[in-house]
Amino acid sequence: MRISVTGNNKAAWTPSRACVSLALALLAAGCSPPERPLVAIGKGSNAEIWALLRTCSDDDPLREVVIGRSEETGETVEPGALEGWSARPSGSVKGETQFSLFTLPKDWRGDVVSATKLASEGDYSVSFAVGPNETVRYKGVVRFTAADVEGLAPGQWWADGKAMSRAEFRTLANDSC
């Protein structure tokens, strides 16, 4: 910060370049909503893959859910493998909700391509956004591979980079809020 003298002999504050740069960096960093471990992935007995989403408050409606897949260049497309989708839940979806990755839940709007399995290669993510209108207050996210899900024992869920019980996931989610 620099202080200069004006023509009227009064001190005027002139921000230095460092102050301006710091302010812009803080502003940019503050624009990204926090990502929290509020999503878990589990498997059913009939090869179904489930997502379990948990918002920080029952008052927070889910705005959008996105399932994505990153793949290596040159990977072959596996027939029936999940490529990803995006959907907007009805405004009534709050708290904890569970759904299949292969089927669009009832009353949700979006485009889903039929799938019956995860691709053997590549990384997946499931995320959701919470916030009013176009504002995103926070995001819930999990990243996983088909091998992560295949390695789950019955009753286990994949969240925050490791296998855990449903109760452990709920504790993790509650602590992250």
- What's this model's pTM, rounded to 2 decimal places? 0.78
What's the token pair of residue 162?
A: 């490791």
What's the token pair of residue 101?
A: 């990755």
Q: What is the pLDDT of residues 138-152, one digit of tens each?
A: 999 999 999 999 999
Let me know if domain 35-176 sits in CATH 2.60.40.
yes
pLDDT band of 106, cuts 50, 70, 90? confident
- Where do the structural domains in the chain lie, given as residue ranges? 1-32, 35-176
Q: What is the pLDDT of residues 112-148, one digit of tens each?
A: 888 999 999 889 999 999 887 788 899 999 999 999 9
For 76, the enclosing helix (H) or strand (E) is none
